[in-house]
Amino acid sequence: MTILYDRIFAGGTLVTPNGIGTGNVAVKDGKIAAIGDVDVSKAAEITDVSGLHVLPGVIDSQVHFREPGNEHKEDLETGARGAVQGGVTGVFEMPNTNPTTSTKEAIADKVARGTARMACDFAFYVGATAENVEELATLEREPGTCGVKIFMGSSTGSLLVGDDDTLERVLRSGTRRVAIHCEDEFRLQERQPLTYEEGGVHNHPVWRDEESARLATERLLRLAKRAGRRVHVLHVTTKDEVPMLAAAKDYATMEVTPQHLTLAAPDCYDRLGTFAQMNPPIRGQEHQDALWHAINQGIVDVIGSDHAPHTREEKANEYPATPSGMPGVQTLVPVMLTHVANGKLSLERFVDLVCHGPQRLFNIAGKGRLVVGYDADLTIVDLKRKQVIEDSWMENRSGWTPFHGFEATGWPISTILRGMTVMQDGEIVAPGQGQPMRFMECLPQA
């Protein structure tokens, strides 16, 4: 019998652009070679995935792996280990690291370290500053780069583009979709004294209030339309931003996070204290309800984790002397599959938000879909498996998760990268296999 395929994943329930149904996925040279009723006798290796769902490899389009090489901080290696442990095959990493990813040399260094150390595929954002505006059009096309990131409000790190003149200059420099953290820096500075009032971390969403987000998004949309630039608003948190973004779908897209869809104030601050602190903040139930409505109405384009860990010691300080951010890449899949199990969204919509959506928005080459010719990146999950998320499961250096004690329904069983098993049943079996993602807008010329 002629061997046509390197490997066949047999008998799984496949989530493809054609719908959901049982079939096989055949792999040849790291790519999907056939889907459906494929003869398993023609494969060198057969992996039985019957009873499991086979999704396209999940892409987390917002992670912060923080400082490289510091034994107490997240880095590319530990962050990627958390990704594949949670069923994520690719990540977009943010530029507010040390040093910031805002020069050609820094990008090349990140790509080299990622290739050497990361277990998942990756791409890196370029951080926009007032100093590198003239270079952004070139930097956004560097290999391994997913685009430009703008911080309109100060967060962790030194990157900030607060004023309209600089923001418009950034928007006019380049052509790829730009990702933006929308909080109004001037309002944040004005309201910062509120952080010292009685109430501690409960003041975090009071300081960084709904109006700071609304003002920034309103300013961004006005300037982006004037500049003719596609923009992607990250971690949207307020009910007021949703209709604004719905009215700007011709040039603006929207991300939400599992944290903002699952945790709500004041309960999260009562239970978790500063461990629930992130930017923009977790807000009240009415805002969470608006985000779910936006998902159900098709307004939300992607879900990203905004993975941004800090140590327990840092988080245990007294607010406001505490950093914002929490781990998220490893828990994205089980938390959102639990919402699927609870009827909050369909499996098809989940796949659109974490696979098809990132591919479509950022023009990722050959990833994010179960189709012939694409990379054989697979997230294989058991939708019926119930398991409690625990701190001890976490791969990140900080060793904690805001979802400790959360009973998940739906769990990642295998993480497959270009046809090769990277994680199986909770064990990372092939670390260091990551490669930089490619993008159709800037493929190298022959």
Active-site annotation, residues: 306
Q: Pairing mode, if any, of strands 378-388 and 145-151?
A: unpaired
Which three-class secondary structure state does DSSP give residue 334? helix
**Closest to 129 (Cα-Cα) out of 90, 97, 170, 165:** 170
Residue 342: exposure state from Cβ atoms within 10 A (0-12, 13-18, ≥19): exposed
**Closest to 65 (Cα-Cα) out of 132, 136, 120, 138:** 120
Which three-class secondary structure state does DSSP give residue 371? coil
Q: State residue 149 phi and psi, 5-degree precision.
A: -115, 135
**DSSP strands (E only) in 240-305:** 252-256, 302-303
Which three-class secondary structure state does DSSP give residue 7? strand
> What's the CA gap between 380 and 377, in Å, rounded?
10
Which three-class secondary structure state does DSSP give residue 120? coil
In the DSSP assignment, the letter for residue 442 is G
**DSSP strands (E only) in 315-439:** 378-388, 407-417, 420-424, 427-428
> What's the CA gap between 428 and 175, in Å, rounded?
38
In the DSSP assignment, the letter for residue 119 is S
> What's the CA gap between 394 and 10, in Å, rounded?
30
326: Cβ contacts below 8 Å, ≥ 6 apart? 259, 275, 276, 277, 278, 307, 308, 309, 310, 401, 402
**Closest to 174 (Cα-Cα) out of 146, 139, 201, 149:** 139
How big is the chain, counted in residues?
446
Q: Which two tokens stand for residue 45?
A: 């290796």
